[in-house]
Structure 1
Amino acid sequence: MEIEAEAVRQSHEQQVLECAEKEVETSRHNEQLTKRLKETERERDSHAGAIRRMLEEAETTRQKHEVEVGRRPSKGQGSEPEGYWKVAHDSAVKHQQTAESARDKQAQKRSHDTYAKEKRLLMEEKAVLERDLAQKVQDNTKLEGKIEEAVQARLSVEGRVKELERDLEARTQALTTSMERREGLEQRSGSEQGSIERWLEFALTTGQISSVQYGEPLTARDGYWTMLQQ
């Protein structure tokens, strides 16, 4: 059980390190995404400023052309009305400005669409990273719960082992006491038996008792056990 708890603890530490590394990587990636987003915004603003400058330059050029054409003498002779070239020039300039404005709007729209697409992709990637991080945190919480359960189980097992050790110690002490008492009784019994055997030997030798008084067998040792049986 202790080995299993240690393995769970090491696995938990490894996953915590992986989660920390993932958080650092996610933070670094978010910083990169934020930097790219700011760069895209600056690029968009730069495009918008360039477009404004182009429009301002076109407006300035148009005004210069108007002033210049307004100063030219009329080239119409006979069938050409007065100011014919000015009207034609104004029409050409207006047509050119309309085309440039359309191109500028398309370029601005493409820039805006590109910015919106990149921003959407960045936000989606950020959402995926946040979900992954939340899942890692949830897994980490579950793993911490399992580790706590393993620790509690280990403490319970250690408590039971201590109880068994105390019980074994008490049983060993009781067995030791019993063996000491048994040895004492055996020594005492051996001493008493020796005394009785010596007395029987003496009594048989001196004729104080008959060898057939207690029946067969006739030895002192067997007579001792015969007396005990009677």
Structure 2
Amino acid sequence: MNSKDFSNFLKDISSEQLHVLDKTISRSKYIPIDLSETKEELNNIDVSSASKLGEFVNNHIKKHKATVAYGGYLEVRNIYKRSQHFNKQAQEERNIHLGVDLWCKEETRIYAPLKSTVHSFKNNTNFGDYGPAIILEHSFNDVVFYTLYGHLSLESIQDLKVGQTFKKGEQIGTLGNELVNGNYPPHLHFQIIRDLQGNIGDYPGVCSKNDLSFFKDNCPNPSLLLNL
């Protein structure tokens, strides 16, 4: 299936609105946020500080009387410069975000948007990494794909088992804080993945410009499912 057909497949999976956060949060309470390298306001903020970045995000949410700030797919960001995790083995800087971020409060409940099976999970402890992450496997009309949930709480993976199943809308975990989530303000990194390439409990959520063509095809826009 080519990328265009797969994108149409994702759009057609459900006629209902799909959610990874509490579905009682009205979509009017979701506000886009720009964290790209071209955002001038961020140039005056120490984005290496979880508290200062969190203050920027929370002020944006309050300003718009929202509950959730979202965005970031294919966004080029300076946030990752603070961590060698993204650049220590790369010939080119990895700074292009491959998922969508949903910025909201610590311990916010996270839900499976579709019927799913736990493929894998892991506590990714590198500075700037996901922290606890869960990868779910989905199968519809003989098409298999995966969704990744990063920056969760430790409790989210404590009693989890590979092969465990979740119904659509069933809670899978909660958001962690900066002490466990890679040192970020609380948020969910949600990513769609076609081919995990053998990865277990982890998959690149940021890529370099050289690799963008592959990852853009392998990790389509999460808004195709969530309709953000």
Structure with more helix by fraction: 1
Structure with more strand by fraction: 2
TM-score past 0.5 threshold: no
When normalised by structure 1's length, the TM-score is: 0.14
When normalised by structure 2's length, the TM-score is: 0.15
